[in-house]
Structure 1
Amino acid sequence: MSSTNRLIDFCRGIKGKASSNSSVIRSLTEIFKKYGSNPNATKATLSSNSLLPKSYKLRVDWSHTDFESIEKVNFFTEYMVNLKDDGNVDKVIALNNLQDVTDELISVSSLDNQWKAVVREKIGKDKKSSQVIEFWSQKGKVKTLNGDKDKSFGKIHFSSTFGEMSWSRDGSQLMFIADKYKTTSGFFDEQKKNKDNNDESKSDLDEISKPTGQGEEYFLKEDWGEQLEGTCNPIVCIVDRKDDYKIRTIEVPGVSCSEAFWIDDKTIGFVGIMEETRRLGLIFCPIRKSCLYKCDLRDPESEPDCIYGKNIDIALRSPRVSYDSKKIVFLCNPPSGPHYQASSLVVFNMEDSTTKTLINTDSSLPNEIEDPTEIRTLYCLYLPNPCWLSDNKSIIVEASMGYKVHLFYINCETGLNTRIALPGKDVSVLSLLDDLAVVKISEPNCANILQIGKLNTNNNQLALIPIDPNYEVKIDDMEYRCDVLETIDPSTNVKQIVTSILISPKELIDKPSAAILLPHGGPHGNFEASYYSSVAAMVEAGFKLILINYRGSTGLNSAHEKFLCGKIGTTDVEDCIHVLKYYIEKSQIDPKQVFLLGGSHGGFLVTHLIGQHSDFGFKACCAMNPVTDLASGFGTSDIPDWHLVEGIGDLNIYPLNTKPTPELLKELLLKSPIFHIDKVQTPVLMGLGTKDKRVSMSQGLNYYYGLKARQIEAQCLVYEDNHSLSKVAHDLDRSVNTMLWFLDHLSSTSE
């Protein structure tokens, strides 16, 4: 099917429903497979080349979906980077040694490339899975560690939440975060008495020590919530390769360890997250109270020392140490308020234990979006790793501003920051070594633009050259526009802005046509003008996509972000309607062919829209794990604090003894989509995850049954998955079913 003969046009001409037409299903499936199969660069690693002084080795890790085996496939490619005499990059040479590493959970090499650690999942004879760490030298595998078998450590963590596995600078020790190994000894009737069988002087009733963990099989094991099931008590683990692979564990009572890093070869640092009396959800919520610790490894009995955050309420993350081990830079927030919010950038001086705030969060002026001259307010989930330049005085950061992500150079001594001008709308740093940066550039119609260049700290310029154009994705028949809309806060008469990204089939960009409104979740997040494979697939099918950043979205400043708190279901809904009317007035969307799609808080918004604005005539709605009932969510979610922040505007630290009073539940219910369910007329498709700890499946089911009871057309997809519904098979199924739902209601009411 050609780009100018879209699937949406074909569906308008068929008899019956698109979901019953095998040609439509086949075409739609192939479209999603096409974009899902494109490799995505996930990581890059630069390393020095000891044989050639003016060259570096570069490894790029990729991931894509294999739709035959229905699984994620991981592989890497390698390159030689040659430099000119002036230090700039001369050329990049592909080494043509692509290697499949799908069976590796993670692998990390020492700085000198002499050692590599690989984590794999193994299935034992008892059919139980366990993680093993393999140690490889240049001559082959030399050691395998099994934490379960050795009873030394539990599940290994390597997500951004808990940090990466890393080698010491001299390559002698490997450090990682893992759950503390826990022993259970079964039931009470399986007692193994700890007494000498030959000691007849003791009776069975004599006091003895019970086996460790006996009778604790069914005790509640409190974890860190959504997507972190079973993650209860992470600790720091260090393997000493030169001491017969002896494992040292470091822990702090009442603290979950995360983001461990090497300060030098004999000293480590890590973030300690307070466990408190209840562990509130951690993923997507970097506001949990935490401290910065260090530990001297020279003394085997040394205890971790808290060096920052002990006597203050703070949530910190993303510690990065300078190459001279004298400074640590990190992000921090108050442990309250929006779960993702503007961060302060702080540098800690290891020599005198002083701190300096480089960027704070109190700017009254919003960030400029297109050509900012400075970072007024910093929105950055994690700092690049590493982020320090070779002068040990400056760093580079990625700063989200509206619908763009910019790269900035920051002098940690003066606090001055300057934008590094680069092409594209979304820029991220994949690797940094000796001021040589690997960056990934993206826009809605192009992806995997990998480039490398040397940063000139005199003029903050980065002279880039392409790495491997073979992996670039460019969509010639797609166009997009970024718009900034003004709105007025009626309570203060102050101008505010809403941003949106219109992504369209090229031939329809200036024509009124069918459109899907897609609000983001959070609600404190934002859409950047970046590449999204699912959006590209929907555009190829013939739909326009409207990605909206309503008031409360991140990227501008704290006032803009917090404006939504206590106003969800009103302000964000108004902004959605405002954006739709804007594009209708510009004759860029067809008001009779508007569809709604959203997940989590995005699902909250689309279900609010079909209730509060049923007269708009939305053609169909799809909501994935939507928040439909704030009152019930307060008691079932892993983040009850979110409901107070967003529902009633309480920005204080959440009291863990908060009780659900009738007044509180009433206020939450009145702001919920289910309160407006009697007005809904739009057909609704729900997608729910049975393992969702963030938004209980019961919310979506209750809303679905409410629609059915009111004779509103509704269907419900149920997946054995978590809040993100990200398993490969589930992602493809919900994507295809969503489009079929929209095409069914488009074709049956063609104009």
Structure 2
Amino acid sequence: MSKNQVDENTAAAQRTDKIYKELSSLPIYTSAQFLSQDFLRVKTAVNDNDRKLKIHGSRTYVLHEEIITSSFTPETSEVVASVTSPSGERTAIFREVADSTAKDGKKRYVEIWSNDSLLAQAEVSKIHGAFYTDEILSLVSFSPSEDALVYCAEHNADDKDSSDSFAKYRFTPVLGEGYRNRKRSRIYHFRWNSQQQSQHVVVLNTASTAEIPLITQPIFAGDSTVYAVGYAYSPEHRLLGVKYCPNRLATIVVYNLPTKRDQFPEEGELMCTGGPKDLKPPANDGNSLSYRCPRIIYNAKGQPETLIWIANAVGGPHASCSTLHSMTLRGGEQKVVVDIVDDPKDDEFPGLYTTTLPVQPFLQVGQHRYLVANSIWRSRGVVVITSLRNGTVRKLTPDNDTDINYSWNVLATDGGDQVVCSRSAPMKPHELVLGRLDASGQVSWRVLAQPSLSDEVKKGLDGLISTIIPIDGRYPTETIIVRSKQAAVGRKACALPCITSLHGGPHGANTTAFNASLATFALDGYAVSLPNYTGSVGFGNKYVKKLLGAIGQLDVDDCMASVQQLVEMKIATTGPGKQFITGGSHGGFLTGHLIGQFPHFFSAAILRNPVIALGEISTSDIPDWYYEESGIAFKPETILTPEIFKTLYQMSPIAYVDNVQIPVLLLLGEIDERVSPTQAKGYYHALKARGQDVEMLCFSEDGHPLESVEAQLISFQSSRDLFSKWVKRN
């Protein structure tokens, strides 16, 4: 390579680095809370690529009819979470302070603030471990009287029976992916009396914690009742991984708290009488539902009236169509508000696909109450609105933006007629949008915040176009295409080198939400294709189940058909240096299959924490996945027989390793508990042994998603370098 070529390549890399860093450093809206009808607090996260860390902050908006003002406050590293009470008058701060004298190097405090005054404070370092703050296990709830709250934290390790001389050696199943070295979550009740200047923290516990070891997502229903989610052990004493898996043995439990203050212990443990009582005991019998996300509806008098929750089938595919349920708290009447949708028509509601509900999901206009939630509707993320009176479901978000194809995410409601969302598109970074519902149930939107972009990047993004293309003869498969407008229309229209990016799951989805790395590739002259193959959520439950037992064939053929159709449509081109492929987890599984089954089609491939050999499932927190997706029922007594191993091997990418002929880059999170790192390492050594061009980058502090700022940056740069090395642009 000549010096001029080296200089050109270096300049090109510097240019794409600059674009990626700008795009990946734009704020992401993570949550929001209405402090009143006129005041809104929105939390954000920003990647600092230079310091390789994520910066969190909050912006408070003052909402008026014509004018919107806001102010930004960065959060300190000591504050791990903060929540404002429903009245807006009190704020709970959860603080972790470095202290070398503490057992784990940190002291922890719960603080209650009223405006600028510290109303109550409790040091909880000896009561429990780290606070839980993620959306799966965590929820902070104020009591209606706002003199108590419940939250989740790690139960101390010294809670084992001191009379058991082998206690510290006894096996306890771990929590799985995303919770490495984390301890069991328990619910803690913090109450205070500002007049008496007293405060107490107790753990809510029950005698049945041996059967329900993980208690999460607490929420008050009145001052003396708390609902929560309890995860159960399976019969073989597994606590299967819960992250991204709404099909676990989980139920809603209820705690009845003492009604008098003197019935609470001073500190430590509160054994709630009669609880928890299962709303419906979970069982891995093929008929049970996994319950999560309890939410409470209060009546006009401020009394708890109805319990709302969502559910998925226990076992089977790890993600599927969810159902929405309700129960009257006085009479105990239960009903299904939104049921499974099996096989919708193209323009019909395809079912509810969501992992969680907003903390405040309710809207009310007049006497009509609604629930809003995120969902996947084909290849877009949408906000759906459900009438709690008759169960009708429709999109809250508009359909008239097909030239942009926004995906939406609901952040919060004010309990009245206002809802705040974020939205983005392949060429539109995240915006903050406020909606207001009218008496007819229609919503009007206005933009509260847009990203600040350099002129160069803004012009580049304005020059991109996205379309959603159905794949002929392979319903419901479709793919999202992002490319330059210049290549799409006009005299300079042309086919481009193509990067196909495959989602994991397999019951996940590619949506039209903004992605910094993929947008950068589109700006660099590639057509980017994001297929949704059979098994992707958002198309009806029938197509989720259709993939079970057909992985490695049906999904592979769908993806290959999408690539070939783009070539036929002259969107992409084929030949040396024209086709590239990337995917993580099950997307890595598909990538391994495609480069093995079609060895001459692609020019380079990138696999992130891929599933390579289905039969090698040791250390995975979801061993059931490997069986169920392969069409083999996973039962408590299931073991890996030679016959089962043969079936799994034949469905795996490793069966095609001898065919691989192109450069491969593996990106590996070394603390991945979902897909064992041995999968990628075994593939690396197998390719090396066959003389193939393979490299592997390892991230010692990353798990399955490779979501650290450093891992995201290095993953983009190494992918860019590999594709640039082999691409031919004419």
TM-score, structure 2 normalization: 0.88
Asked whether the equivalents of residues 290 and 309 of structure 1 are also in contact (C-alpha less than 8 Å), the reply is no
Residues 1:166 and 2:117 aligned together: no
Q: CA deviation at 1:595?
A: 0.4
Asked whether the equivalents of residues 251 and 282 of structure 2 are also in contact (C-alpha less than 8 Å), the reply is no
Alignment partner of 1:682 out of 638, 648, 662: 662
Asked whether the equivalents of residues 184 and 217 of structure 1 are also in contact (C-alpha less than 8 Å), the reply is no
CA 1:465–1:213 in structure 2 vs 1: closer, same or farther (change >3 Å)?
Answer: farther
**1:672-706 deviation per Cα after TM superposition (whole angstroms, max 9, x unaligned):** 10110001101100111111111111111111111
Alpha-carbon distance between aligned partners in 2 of 1:184 and 1:414, rounded to the nearest angstrom:
47
Q: Which residue of 1 aligns with 2:275?
A: 304
Q: Which residue of 2 aligns with 1:524?
A: 507
Matches of residues 413-562 of structure 1 in structure 2 within 5 Å?
Answer: 413-422=389-398, 425-433=406-414, 434-456=416-438, 458-469=439-450, 475-487=461-473, 496-509=475-488, 510-562=493-545
Residues 1:385 and 2:356 aligned together: no
Alpha-carbon distance between aligned partners in 1 of 2:369 and 2:276, rounded to the nearest angstrom:
25
**1:538-581 deviation per Cα after TM superposition (whole angstroms, max 9, x unaligned):** 22222221000001111011111111111111011101110011
Question: Residue type of the partner of 1:622?
Answer: I
Residues 1:26 and 2:14 aligned together: yes
Asked whether the equivalents of residues 244 and 355 of structure 2 are also in contact (C-alpha less than 8 Å), the reply is no
Asked whether the equivalents of residues 139 and 216 of structure 2 are also in contact (C-alpha less than 8 Å), the reply is no
Alpha-carbon distance between aligned partners in 2 of 1:174 and 1:642, rounded to the nearest angstrom:
37
Residues 1:335 and 2:335 aligned together: no
Q: CA deviation at 1:262?
A: 1.4
Residues 1:349 and 2:328 aligned together: yes
CA 1:112–1:484 in structure 2 vs 1: closer, same or farther (change >3 Å)?
Answer: same
Alpha-carbon distance between aligned partners in 2 of 1:38 and 1:445, rounded to the nearest angstrom:
13
Q: Which residue of 2 aligns with 1:290?
A: 250
Q: CA deviation at 1:709?
A: 0.9
CA 1:550–1:241 in structure 2 vs 1: closer, same or farther (change >3 Å)?
Answer: same
CA 1:95–1:35 in structure 2 vs 1: closer, same or farther (change >3 Å)?
Answer: closer
Alpha-carbon distance between aligned partners in 2 of 1:710 and 1:700, rounded to the nearest angstrom:
15
Larger radius of gyration: 1
Number of equivalent positions: 680
Q: Which residue of 1 aligns with 2:266?
A: none
SS in 2 for 1:227: coil
Asked whether the equivalents of residues 282 and 288 of structure 1 are also in contact (C-alpha less than 8 Å), the reply is yes
Question: Residue type of the partner of 1:138?
Answer: N
Question: Residue type of the partner of 1:352?
Answer: G
CA 1:666–1:245 in structure 2 vs 1: closer, same or farther (change >3 Å)?
Answer: same
Residues 1:248 and 2:230 aligned together: no
Question: Residue type of the partner of 2:205?
Answer: E
Q: Which residue of 1 aligns with 2:596?
A: 611
Q: Which residue of 2 aligns with 1:397?
A: 373
CA 1:620–1:421 in structure 2 vs 1: closer, same or farther (change >3 Å)?
Answer: closer
Alpha-carbon distance between aligned partners in 2 of 1:525 and 1:412, rounded to the nearest angstrom:
27
SS in 1 for 2:128: coil
**1:495-518 deviation per Cα after TM superposition (whole angstroms, max 9, x unaligned):** x22111001133223421111001
Greater mean deviation of Cα atoms: 240-249 or 691-700? 240-249
SS in 1 for 2:374: strand
Asked whether the equivalents of residues 429 and 451 of structure 2 are also in contact (C-alpha less than 8 Å), the reply is no
**1:221-265 deviation per Cα after TM superposition (whole angstroms, max 9, x unaligned):** 422101112344221111002272211211241211111111122
Question: Residue type of the partner of 1:297?
Answer: L
Question: Residue type of the partner of 1:724?
Answer: P
**1:416-437 deviation per Cα after TM superposition (whole angstroms, max 9, x unaligned):** 2333352553122211012211
CA 1:750–1:334 in structure 2 vs 1: closer, same or farther (change >3 Å)?
Answer: closer
Q: Which residue of 2 aligns with 1:263?
A: 221
Greater mean deviation of Cα atoms: 578-587 or 96-105? 96-105
Q: Which residue of 1 aligns with 2:691?
A: 711
Alpha-carbon distance between aligned partners in 2 of 1:693 and 1:519, rounded to the nearest angstrom:
21
Question: Residue type of the partner of 2:384?
Answer: F
Alpha-carbon distance between aligned partners in 2 of 1:219 and 1:16, rounded to the nearest angstrom:
59
Alpha-carbon distance between aligned partners in 2 of 1:95 and 1:66, rounded to the nearest angstrom:
22
Q: CA deviation at 1:365?
A: 2.8
CA 1:311–1:607 in structure 2 vs 1: closer, same or farther (change >3 Å)?
Answer: closer
SS in 1 for 2:252: strand
SS in 1 for 2:640: coil
SS in 1 for 2:706: coil
Asked whether the equivalents of residues 94 and 468 of structure 1 are also in contact (C-alpha less than 8 Å), the reply is no
Q: CA deviation at 1:219?
A: 4.5
Alpha-carbon distance between aligned partners in 2 of 1:17 and 1:441, rounded to the nearest angstrom:
39
Aligned-pair identity (%): 25
CA 1:92–1:436 in structure 2 vs 1: closer, same or farther (change >3 Å)?
Answer: farther
Alignment partner of 1:406 out of 382, 385, 392: 382
Q: Which residue of 2 aligns with 1:197?
A: none
Q: CA deviation at 1:376?
A: 4.5
Residues 1:646 and 2:634 aligned together: no
Alpha-carbon distance between aligned partners in 2 of 1:403 and 1:92, rounded to the nearest angstrom:
35
Matches of residues 65-104 of structure 1 in structure 2 within 5 Å?
Answer: 65-82=47-64, 90-104=65-79
CA 1:568–1:741 in structure 2 vs 1: closer, same or farther (change >3 Å)?
Answer: same
CA 1:14–1:578 in structure 2 vs 1: closer, same or farther (change >3 Å)?
Answer: farther
TM-score, structure 1 normalization: 0.86
Alignment partner of 2:190 out of 239, 254, 260: 239
Asked whether the equivalents of residues 271 and 290 of structure 1 are also in contact (C-alpha less than 8 Å), the reply is yes
**1:22-72 deviation per Cα after TM superposition (whole angstroms, max 9, x unaligned):** 434433322221111111111121122xxxxxx511111111112232211
Alpha-carbon distance between aligned partners in 1 of 2:352 and 2:441, rounded to the nearest angstrom:
19
CA 1:97–1:548 in structure 2 vs 1: closer, same or farther (change >3 Å)?
Answer: closer
CA 1:260–1:504 in structure 2 vs 1: closer, same or farther (change >3 Å)?
Answer: same
Q: Which residue of 2 aligns with 1:51?
A: none
Matches of residues 627-666 of structure 1 in structure 2 within 5 Å?
Answer: 627-633=611-617, 635-647=618-630, 649-650=631-632, 654-666=634-646
Alpha-carbon distance between aligned partners in 1 of 2:7 and 2:580, rounded to the nearest angstrom:
17
Question: Residue type of the partner of 2:443?
Answer: L
Greater mean deviation of Cα atoms: 229-238 or 345-354? 229-238
SS in 1 for 2:298: coil
Where structure 2 has 5 or more consecutive residues not aligned to the other structure, the ranges are 264-271
Q: Which residue of 1 aligns with 2:344?
A: 366
Asked whether the equivalents of residues 431 and 439 of structure 1 are also in contact (C-alpha less than 8 Å), the reply is yes
Q: CA deviation at 1:17?
A: 10
Alpha-carbon distance between aligned partners in 1 of 2:145 and 2:411, rounded to the nearest angstrom:
23
CA 1:221–1:431 in structure 2 vs 1: closer, same or farther (change >3 Å)?
Answer: same
Alpha-carbon distance between aligned partners in 2 of 1:315 and 1:348, rounded to the nearest angstrom:
16
Q: Which residue of 1 aligns with 2:26?
A: 38
Where structure 1 has 5 or more consecutive residues not aligned to the other structure, the ranges are 1-10, 49-54, 83-89, 186-209, 489-495
Asked whether the equivalents of residues 486 and 497 of structure 1 are also in contact (C-alpha less than 8 Å), the reply is no
Alpha-carbon distance between aligned partners in 1 of 2:584 and 2:697, rounded to the nearest angstrom:
13
Q: CA deviation at 1:291?
A: 1.4
Alpha-carbon distance between aligned partners in 2 of 1:248 and 1:166, rounded to the nearest angstrom:
15
Question: Residue type of the partner of 2:279?
Answer: Y
Residues 1:625 and 2:609 aligned together: yes
Question: Residue type of the partner of 2:466?
Answer: Y
Q: CA deviation at 1:184?
A: 8.3
Q: Which residue of 2 aligns with 1:15?
A: 5
CA 1:614–1:96 in structure 2 vs 1: closer, same or farther (change >3 Å)?
Answer: same
**1:453-499 deviation per Cα after TM superposition (whole angstroms, max 9, x unaligned):** 3212x4221122221345589621211111112325xxxxxxx2211
Residues 1:730 and 2:698 aligned together: no
Q: CA deviation at 1:112?
A: 2.8
Alignment partner of 1:134 out of 95, 99, 111: 111
CA 1:706–1:418 in structure 2 vs 1: closer, same or farther (change >3 Å)?
Answer: closer
Question: Residue type of the partner of 1:400?
Answer: I
**1:623-669 deviation per Cα after TM superposition (whole angstroms, max 9, x unaligned):** 01100000112x3311110011111x13x5x3233111000011001
SS in 2 for 1:428: strand
CA 1:518–1:470 in structure 2 vs 1: closer, same or farther (change >3 Å)?
Answer: closer
Question: Residue type of the partner of 1:28?
Answer: T
Question: Cα RMSD between the aligned structures?
Answer: 2.5
Asked whether the equivalents of residues 389 and 396 of structure 1 are also in contact (C-alpha less than 8 Å), the reply is yes
